[in-house]
Structure 1
């Protein structure tokens, strides 16, 4: 499957993939009303801004998934040496289980990966297992909110480059 850097022309595809992946992954973890709030129009704006900003690496496997990795957003983690953060790694259900997640992650990492972090929605056991098999460890559980919904975010850390 083709994996390549996302371009401005990929914004509609990124938005569609993002909406599809949320609809497939988060029922039962996030209220349906909150999933619906993150609709295609919202995702179109999000991805237009992300690509225009150019501060992260976004890779896409058209029709299957995408990954986004960039500078650490938490100063405390950056101070501890976790200079980068995996912002997103999403695959459609049909694309899971064939190595594409590892390939997208590797493509987003770039040439000299080091320690990094990722947040995972509590209850997303498949994502947790995936990160743990690549060498991440669960560092913290954080109560958060998505709209009115109370959730738990799980902070995963890689002390070295992920084992992909």
Structure 2
């Protein structure tokens, strides 16, 4: 099914929140503690995400792109200045798609469009954090990302998640 990419706008916040929480549920079921996943994907979490996306889009704090099919937002990506990646210019903060939209090239198109936009601003390289058990970890590697470290994130209740840093040393290779 054809899709279009465009910059996100404030009215997209509800769709971003829906995709964000739904994608977490679809991707991480069985990969993280159930109680934590439930708190991150319930209605209260969706409302918190919507408020956060409303602020982000209103303030223009990061670049956010959406993919639409038949007028409906089905995927999105966001990025901006690297937060905790020493020596890296920009970071891919989010890349989420509804499971029904997987396999259509939306993720690749969003990643490349985001890289083009961030590169046009002078960025030379890009990094992201991905959960070590996330199935998209291998997808990012196929897009040219190389593993460059990891961190452990402590969850309430004593559980831990491991995240892996992926880096693209030359952003022009993603354009």
Alpha-carbon shift at residue 122 of structure 1 (Å): 1.3
Aligned to 1:163: 174
Q: TM-score, normalised by structure 2?
A: 0.84
Distance, in Å, in 2 between the alignment partners of 1:100 and 1:64 is 9
- CA deviations 1:19-38 (Å, max 9, x no partner) are 11001001112222212222
Could you tell me how far apart the structure 2 residues matched to 1:43 and 1:147 are? 19
| Structure 2 residue ranges without an equivalent (≥5) | none
SS in 2 for 1:28: coil
- Pair 41,105 (structure 1): closer, same or farther in 2 beyond 3 Å: same
More deviation, 38-47/17-26: 38-47
> What SS does the corresponding residue of 1:3 show, helix, strand or coil?
strand
Q: 2:113 maps to which residue?
A: 107
Decide whether the 8 Å contact of 1:71 with 1:85 is kept in 2.
yes
Match of 2:35 in 1: 33
Task: Report if aligned partners of 1:55, 1:71 keep a CA contact under 8 Å in 2.
Answer: no
1:89 aligns with 2:95: yes
Residue of structure 2 aligned with 1:18, choices 20, 24, 28: 20
- Structure 1 regions of 5+ residues with no counterpart? none
Per-residue deviation at 1:163? Answer: 3.4
Task: Output the CA distance in 2 between the equivalents of 1:36 and 1:121.
Answer: 17
Write out aligned runs for 1:1-164 (5 A).
1-38=3-40, 39-61=45-67, 62-74=72-84, 77=86, 80=87, 82-109=88-115, 110=117, 111-112=119-120, 114-125=124-135, 127-148=136-157, 149-161=159-171, 162-163=173-174
Q: CA deviation at 1:115?
A: 0.7
Give me the whole-angstrom Cα distance separating, in 1, the residues matched to 2:23 and 2:48.
Answer: 15
Q: Normalising to structure 1: TM-score of the pair?
A: 0.89
* 1:150–1:18 distance in 2 versus 1, CA, 3 Å: same
Query: What RMSD over aligned residues (CA atoms) do the two structures have, in Å?
Result: 1.7
Q: Could you say what secondary structure the match of 2:174 adopts?
A: coil
